[in-house]
Amino acid sequence: MNSFAEFLAMGGYGFYVWMSYGISTVVLLLNVVIPIIQKKQFLRELALKQKRAK
Amino acid sequence: MSIVPEFIVRFYHKTASPPYFYSLSNKLLPWLTAIFLILLGYGLYGGLYLAPTDYQQGDSYRIIYVHVPAAWMSLFIYVVMAIAGGISLIWRMKIADVVLISSAPIGASFTFIALVTGSFWGKPMWGTWWVWDARLTSELILLFLYLGVISLYGAIEDKRTASKAVAILALVGVVNIPIIHYSVQWWNTLHQGPTVTKMDKPSIHLDMLIPLLVMATAFKFYYAIAMLQVAKVEILMREQNTQWVKKLLEDK
């Protein structure tokens, strides 16, 4: 492989290869990001509840 | 005297305790993430750049480096869930329930990835996005099993009943796993036969095989990371009224 453009072209299969990698990346990222956000949100709500109870 | 050595019993009870599992997860996560990123980096570099172009499929075969590890993970995670389900039903271990339900979305994601990347590989090679052959159909059933576990758990209010129901479903569904694995041998499928897990010698070049195995290992680490992240939320929600969670909030 000589150039970056050639690398991206993947011998004419660029669309299929990069769609596969792209979709996989998005799905795998969401799987980690969503629980981290959920955890933050939940702890914030729980802290509020505790403050109110006091 | 029990036949199980004392230290195993102690380890079992310790890991089974939610606060210990929670803090252990926090300690492990940075290491798991570091190892995952290194493996992923090498796997992608090896698979997309170093590995030679296939003489039949050109560069389209490079989809293999997500497709096959994802498909392996879709089976592996289901087996983990079934084992966790068994442990939960027999020993009523709370953490086994947490592992089971936290694995489900990740397993579903890997199944989805295996199906979608398979489609993107099938289109240029077979000329079709989808065929109803045994391998593809049984993998689609696996996706429905994962989604079934997730929705069943969500549908039952009482989490102890929900855990039991989900454990049974996971155990029953495990019959699909050997069907998926052997589907390419039992039926005449459009999907190609095994190239890596053949008994004698894998029919794949070493330069192509190594990145594949590295990616498969990377995905195992990814599973551990994602599962622990989901498990942490699940544990916090289940244990929200306990002393250790209250203390966790105060310490923040």
pLDDT digits (tens, 9 = 90+) for B209-224: 999 999 999 999 999 9
Mutation target to probe the A interface, by most A beta carbons within 10 A, among B74, B103, B113, B129 is: B113
More confident residue, B1 or B77: B77
Give the pLDDT band (50/70/90) at residue B11: confident
Residue B59: its chain A contacts at CB < 8 A? 10-13, 17
ipTM of model = 0.91
Q: Is B11 exposed, middle or buried (0-12, 13-18, 19+ CB in 10 A)?
A: exposed
User: Once rounded to an integer, what is the mean pLDDT over residues B110-120?
Assistant: 96
Cα atoms found within 13 Å of the Cα of residue B81, Cβ hemisphere only:
36
> Using CB atoms, which residue from B48, B67, B249 is nearest to A43?
B249
Domain spans of chain B? 36-235
Residue B236: its chain A contacts at CB < 8 A? 39, 42-43, 46
Most confidently modeled range among B81-85, B129-133, B159-163, B204-208: B81-85
Q: What local confidence, expressed as pLDDT, does residue B29 receive?
A: 96
d(CA B22, CA B232): 6
- Is residue B9 scored above 90 in pLDDT? no
Distances (CA, A) of B16 to A50, B8, B105, B166, B179: 27, 12, 22, 19, 33
Share of chain A above pLDDT 90, in %: 59
B121 at the A interface (CB within 8 A)? yes
d(CA B244, CA B8): 25
CA of B57 vs chain A CAs: smallest distance (Å): 10
d(CA A3, CA B214): 26
Report the topology of domain B36-235: Four Helix Bundle (Hemerythrin (Met), subunit A) (1.20.120)
Mean residue pLDDT of chain B comes to: 90
